[in-house]
Amino acid sequence: MTTRRAVVTGASSGIGEAATRALRASGWDVVAVARRADRLAELEGDTGAVAYAADLTRQADVDALAEWLASTGAVHALVHVAGGARGADRVEDGRADDWQWMFEVNVLSGQRLVAALLPQLRQGAASDGHADILFVTSTAAQNAYAGGAGYNAAKAGESMIAHALRLELNGEPIRIVEVAPGMVQTPEFALNRLGGNADAAAAVYDGIEQPLVADDVADVIAYALNAPGHVNLDLITMRPVAQSAQYLLARGPLRVRQA
């Protein structure tokens, strides 16, 4: 049986790093893609994944990645994790450059990657039965919340790529999977969103009993890609038990209500 190869973006930290580890543990070859070459080198040493440094907001970098992949073997899965949020402002106070950055990293990077890698994914599907394109979006794509409009809009845009692509590729053995996590506590997401304010970032998770962590999402990603080839998990929405909705969080211990 051919060893399947996945390209994982955003692999230098958080969910992307965890997904790289989970896929390597379940037998995949992985090309780990991110901007930070030093972090990728550590991951390569730890897991045996192949590191590839690239800025996915640059078309030249995406084209070079596609050319390098074509010269080094088959591609069976694209796992697009790279993305992020900047700011928690009301619409009237939002910074256009923050919104533009979010659109670039969450939406346009996904479109660039699909356009560049789809020919190779088709080849992988033709030779080995099926291929996968998996997007990690967010529950922010499903429900708006005050102070989140820029990220809501960007993640909703990314989600629509997945929905449209599934229709456009109907009839081909290529699965389109969307994983939409709710609150995930990672070292960098809230910190980057809130301009490096460590106290504000910590307060996001204050009192939440067991928020999701990157490994939880990575387990779901690996499960989806390792499912039988005829099974497509269109949309997986996952939240910690303490988060019943995008805006409804239980802060404090979870307890059974007494009669």
151 given a catalytic annotation:
yes
Does residue 254 contact residue 241 with C-beta atoms inside 8 Å? yes
Does residue 138 contact residue 151 with C-beta atoms inside 8 Å? yes
Tell me how far apart the alpha carbons of residues 239 and 182 are, in angstroms, rounded to a whole number.
5
Q: Which residues of 121-158 are buried (b: 16+ CB within 10 A; e: fewer)?
A: bbebbeebebbbbbbbbbbbbbeeeeebbbbbbbbbbb
Tell me how far apart the alpha carbons of residues 225 and 232 are, in angstroms, rounded to a whole number.
9
Out of 52, 145, 151, 223, pick the active-site residue: 151
Two tokens, residue 29: 């070859």
Residue with tokens 């304010």: 197
Long-range contacts made by residues 55-59, C-beta under 8 angstroms, separation at least 24? 56/9, 56/82, 56/105, 56/109, 56/112, 56/113, 57/104, 57/105, 57/108, 57/109, 59/112
Residues with catalytic function: 151
